[in-house]
Structure 1
Amino acid sequence: MRNMWWVVVVVAVVAVLATYLTWTAQRVDRLHARSAAAARSLDAHLLRRSAAAAVLAEERQAPELYAAARIALDAVPEEREAAENDLTRQLRTVPLSPEDPKDDAVISASRRLGLARQVHNDLAREAHAARRRRLVRVLLLTRRHDRPRFFDIDDPTVTASRPVAPVSPAPVVAPPPAAGVAG
Structure 2
Amino acid sequence: MGMFAWIALVVAVVAVVAWYLSYTAARLDRLHTKLEGSVSSLDAQLVRRAEVVREVAGSGVLDPASAALLADAASASLDAADVASLHDEVRSDGIGEQRAETESMLTEVLRTTLTSDVIAELRDENAGWPEVIERLRSAGQRVEIARRFHNEAVRDVRRLRHRPQVRYLGLAGHTPLPAPVEFDDRLPDGL
Pairwise same-fold verdict (TM > 0.5): yes
Report the residue type matching 2:74 in the other structure. Answer: A
The answer to whether residue 38 in structure 2 is matched with residue 38 in structure 1 is yes
- Give the 3-state SS of the residue equivalent to 1:100 in structure 2: helix
Q: Distance in 2 between matches of 1:145 and 1:156?
A: 31
Question: How many residues were matched structurally?
Answer: 161
The answer to whether residue 34 in structure 2 is matched with residue 26 in structure 1 is no
**What residue in structure 2 maps to residue 87 of structure 1?**
106
Q: Distance in 1 between matches of 2:41 and 2:157?
A: 17
TM-score (norm 2): 0.78
**What residue in structure 2 maps to residue 123 of structure 1?**
153
Q: Distance in 1 between matches of 2:78 and 2:56?
A: 14
Backbone CA RMSD of aligned residues: 1.8
Per-residue CA distance 1:67-88 (angstroms, 9 max, x = gap): 0111111124441111111111
Q: Which has the higher contact order (CA 8 A, sep 6+)?
A: 2
Per-residue CA distance 1:80-131 (angstroms, 9 max, x = gap): 1111111111111313367621111111000011011000001011111212
Alignment of 1:31-180 (within 5 A): 31-59=31-59, 60=62, 61=64, 62-75=67-80, 76=83, 77-93=96-112, 94=114, 95-96=118-119, 100-160=130-190
Q: CA deviation at 1:29?
A: 0.6
Q: Distance in 2 between matches of 1:20 and 1:42?
A: 32
Mapped contact 1:35–1:124 kept (Cα < 8 A): yes
Mapped contact 1:50–1:72 kept (Cα < 8 A): yes
Q: Distance in 1 between matches of 2:119 and 2:30?
A: 40
Q: CA deviation at 1:159?
A: 4.8
Q: Distance in 2 between matches of 1:146 and 1:158?
A: 35
Q: Distance in 1 between matches of 2:173 and 2:20?
A: 19
- Give the 3-state SS of the residue equivalent to 1:146 in structure 2: coil
Q: Which has the larger radius of gyration?
A: 1
Q: CA deviation at 1:149?
A: 3.1
Q: Distance in 2 between matches of 1:91 and 1:48?
A: 15
Q: Does 7-16 or 146-155 show the bigger shift?
A: 146-155
Sequence identity (%):
37
Q: Does 46-55 or 145-154 show the bigger shift?
A: 145-154
TM-score (norm 1): 0.81
Give 5+ residue unaligned stretches, structure 2.
84-95, 124-128
Mapped contact 1:68–1:87 kept (Cα < 8 A): yes
User: Hey, which of these two has a bigger chunk of helix by percent?
Assistant: 2
